[in-house]
Amino acid sequence: MNNRHIYSLSVILTVLSLALFFYKAHVLGFPVAPQEQTQIWTVEAAVSFTPGPAAMKATLRIPGLTPGYSLMDENFVSRGFGLTTRSAPAGREAVWAVREASGPQTVYYRALVYKDPQRQVEDTTPPFPEFPELDEPSKIALEGLIADVRRQSADVASFTTELLRRISQGETDPYIRLFLNRTDTPADRAHLATIFLAGAQIPARIAHGVLLRDRAGAVQPEVLLEVHDGVEWLYFNPVTLQQGLPEDFLIWWRGDEKLAEIEGGSTLGVTLAVQQSLLDSILIAERRAEQRGSHSAEFSLFSLPIATQAVYSVLLMIPIGALVIMILRNFVGIKTFGTFMPVLVALAFRETRLLWGVTLFAVIVSLGLLIRFYLEKLRLLLVPRLTCVLTVVVLLMAGISVFSHRLGLQPGLSIALFPMVIISMTIERMSIVWEERGAAEAIQEGVGSLVVAAIAYLVMEIAWLEHIIFVFPELLFLVIAATLLVGRYTGYRLLELRRFKALMPREGEA
């Protein structure tokens, strides 16, 4: 094993780990920060109608191509109705059918959508539209208008804007006046624009949608004009003339058709409602991974039962604690009882909190040591003595819990999570060091262990770190890479610089 082998191995691990991390974080959108939530909207269409005497059919346009948004889930509430969904020129349609029904009926369509900047229109380029069929005067007016507008514009976008501006001026424009015969709603204006654009051989259509606002309640569908410039669809607000798709605009359906239609029934009414809510980003990321056919979510820790997830969120932090200890031992040179004893103590600190943890640990170890010194006098054999110390430690823990509960000190109860076997072994080893090498060394090593445990605890307690390791366990490859590198670190430890002070070249001599 030469060093180059180790370096390349750690580079490979680092690259692998970071690549997976960035894929999950940026492509699948797994949240990097803890408790990150993503806005989602519940959009609902309630279709109410009165069925006629015979079979009836109600059609509702439902969201299909929704640039900027992704559909997370959708469901239909319609008891007793046969339901089919299908693709249609307007997007998608849901058709409810029933042979007979009595009294007013309401069926619901409900969808969960979330913002997804990566989702763009997956629409094909449309063919050139046919010239609208018009009577002669209208045709002349249309050609005049197109020639006029073309003169004042440079491209499809400015052409459309100019056209919409003229339409909004309505009566004052000599050409437009000819066409404005009905009430002037935004939908009418957009429809009119599509006729003019068709005359100019520019594909255009109307997009109906709703604005996703943060307040809940009923919303009215609004209209945008979609114009294809040969490369992509452009969006125009027919009233304000603003170009571009507003961020909070969810396109529901397209074309001149109505939102809902009914055959064999009457008094059709459709209400749209939007409600915003927050959902854990992880759920959305998983959903997205599923849609993309990525297996990273299926095989992630989130597929485990919640209780197991909780265990792993702690277990995955152990390597981080061990990493801290590795650094403190190999770079700094702090001595501890047992290599990884401090990690286990640090795990216990998670429940007790630091101050209580250190206090309880110190109390238990000191009491245990007292007992151990007494047992020394009884001259027990090793294994029975260890068993005895362990039993005493357990009793001490129980005693402290009961006692602190009586005093109303809650943290005392969490002492039950201390690793008692480890503590017993620590007591045993500490007492041997105490006898063989003196109290100073024993206390020094004991305090060293405690300090290391506290530092490991503080690092393992960083909520962000815990979250990121749980969501991206592949980052532990970085820990492995670090251990490979530290494993070949042959430089001095920090405390050795002090230890070998006497060996420094003397001033003036060198």
Partner 1 sequence: MLRRYRGLAAEGVLGLNKRNGDYILKFNPRHLYPLVDDKLRTKHLALRAGIAVPELYGVMETQRDIRRLPEIVKDHPEFALKPAHGSAGDGIVVIAGRSAGRYRTISGALLDEEFLSHHLSNAINGQFSLGGVPDVVIVEYMVRFSALFERISFQGVPDVRVIVFRGYPIMAMVRLPTRSSNGKANLHQGAVGAGIDLASGVTLDGVIGTQVVTQHPDTTHSIAGLQINDWNTILDISARCYELTGLGYIGVDIVLDRDLGPLVLELNARPGLAIQIANRQGLLRRLHICEQRADFNAPAAQRIEFAKREFQHPVGPIIDTAAVEVAVA
Q: With respect to partner 1, which residue has the nearer C-beta, 119 or 335?
A: 335
Instruction: Figure out which of the listed residues 103, 181, 501, 508 binds partner 1, where binding follows CB under 8 A.
Output: 501
Q: Is 490 exposed, middle or buried (0-12, 13-18, 19+ CB in 10 A)?
A: exposed
Rg (CA), the chain: 36
Please name the amino acid found at residue 178.
L
* Residue 351: closest CA among 470, 471, 460: 460
The stretch near partner 1 (CB under 8 A) out of 23-31, 296-304, 311-319, 486-494 is 486-494
User: Tokens 């209780």 label which residue?
Assistant: 307
Q: With respect to partner 1, which residue has the nearer C-beta, 407 or 502?
A: 502
Kindly state the tokens that stand for 507. 């001033």
Cβ pair 245, 232 in contact under 8 A: no
- CA angle in degrees (0–180, nearest 5) for 6-11-12: 100
Question: Shortest Cβ distance from residue 385 to partner 1 (Å)?
Answer: 9
Q: Does 489 bind partner 1 (CB under 8 A)?
A: yes
Helix pair 156-169, 186-199: axis angle to 10 deg? 130
Q: Does 499 bind partner 1 (CB under 8 A)?
A: yes
Q: By rule CB under 8 A, what string of x and - marks binding of each residue 187-206 to partner 1?
A: --------------------
Q: Does 307 bind partner 1 (CB under 8 A)?
A: no
- H runs (alpha helix) in 78-206: 136-151, 156-169, 174-179, 186-199
Q: With respect to partner 1, which residue has the nearer C-beta, 381 or 407?
A: 381
Q: What φ, ψ does residue 476 adopt, rounded to 5°? A: -65, -20
Q: How many CA atoms lie within 13 A of 343 on its CB side?
A: 19
The stretch near partner 1 (CB under 8 A) out of 44-52, 247-255, 456-464, 491-499 is 491-499
Q: What φ, ψ does residue 336 adopt, rounded to 5°? A: -135, 160
Question: Shortest Cβ distance from residue 428 to partner 1 (Å)?
Answer: 9
Q: With respect to partner 1, which residue has the nearer C-beta, 356 or 434?
A: 434
CA distance 327 to 322: 9
Residue 264 region, left (φ>0) first, then alpha (ψ -120 to 50), else beta?
A: left
Q: With respect to partner 1, which residue has the nearer C-beta, 155 or 496?
A: 496
Q: With respect to partner 1, which residue has the nearer C-beta, 34 or 333?
A: 333
Please name the amino acid found at residue 201.
Q
Q: With respect to partner 1, which residue has the nearer C-beta, 104 or 438?
A: 438
CA distance 196 to 202: 9
Question: Shortest Cβ distance from residue 115 to partner 1 (Å)?
Answer: 50
Question: 373 to 392, contacts with partner 1 by CB under 8 A?
Answer: 379, 381-383
Q: Which residues pair with 49 in a beta bridge?
A: 105
Q: Does 496 bind partner 1 (CB under 8 A)?
A: yes
Question: Shortest Cβ distance from residue 436 to partner 1 (Å)?
Answer: 5
Question: 26 to 45, contacts with partner 1 by CB under 8 A?
Answer: none
Q: By rule CB under 8 A, what string of x and - marks binding of each residue 140-169 to partner 1?
A: ------------------------------
Q: With respect to partner 1, which residue has the nearer C-beta, 140 or 494?
A: 494
Q: CB neighbours (10 Å) of residue 21?
A: 20
Q: Does 487 bind partner 1 (CB under 8 A)?
A: yes
Question: 404 to 433, contacts with partner 1 by CB under 8 A?
Answer: 432
Residues in the interface with partner 1 (CB under 8 A) total: 30
The stretch near partner 1 (CB under 8 A) out of 102-110, 157-165, 302-310, 497-505 is 497-505
Kindly state the tokens that stand for 66. 């929704």
Question: Shortest Cβ distance from residue 399 to partner 1 (Å)?
Answer: 28
Q: What is the DSSP letter of 171?
A: G
SS3 at position 51: strand
Question: Shortest Cβ distance from residue 497 to partner 1 (Å)?
Answer: 5
Q: With respect to partner 1, which residue has the nearer C-beta, 22 or 492?
A: 492
Q: With respect to partner 1, which residue has the nearer C-beta, 36 or 441?
A: 441
CA distance 121 to 100: 40
Q: Does 509 bind partner 1 (CB under 8 A)?
A: no
Q: With respect to partner 1, which residue has the nearer C-beta, 307 or 503?
A: 503
Residues in the chain: 510
Q: With respect to partner 1, which residue has the nearer C-beta, 174 or 438?
A: 438
Q: Does 290 bind partner 1 (CB under 8 A)?
A: no
The stretch near partner 1 (CB under 8 A) out of 50-58, 163-171, 186-194, 489-497 is 489-497
181 Cβ contact partners less than 8 Å away, ≥ 6 residues apart: none
Question: 318 to 347, contacts with partner 1 by CB under 8 A?
Answer: 330, 333
Q: By rule CB under 8 A, what string of x and - marks binding of each residue 428-467 to partner 1?
A: ----x---xxx--x--------------------------
CA distance 214 to 160: 31
* Residue 235: closest CA among 196, 206, 210: 206
Question: Shortest Cβ distance from residue 13 to partner 1 (Å)?
Answer: 20
Kindly state the tokens that stand for 271. 């209400």
Question: Shortest Cβ distance from residue 330 to partner 1 (Å)?
Answer: 6
3-state secondary structure string across 318-349: HHHHHHHHHHHHHHHCCCCCCCCHHHHHHHHH
Q: What φ, ψ does residue 59 adopt, rounded to 5°? A: -115, 135
Q: With respect to partner 1, which residue has the nearer C-beta, 301 or 332?
A: 332
Q: Which residues bind partner 1 (CB under 8 A)?
A: 330, 333, 379, 381-383, 432, 436-438, 441, 487-494, 496-505, 510
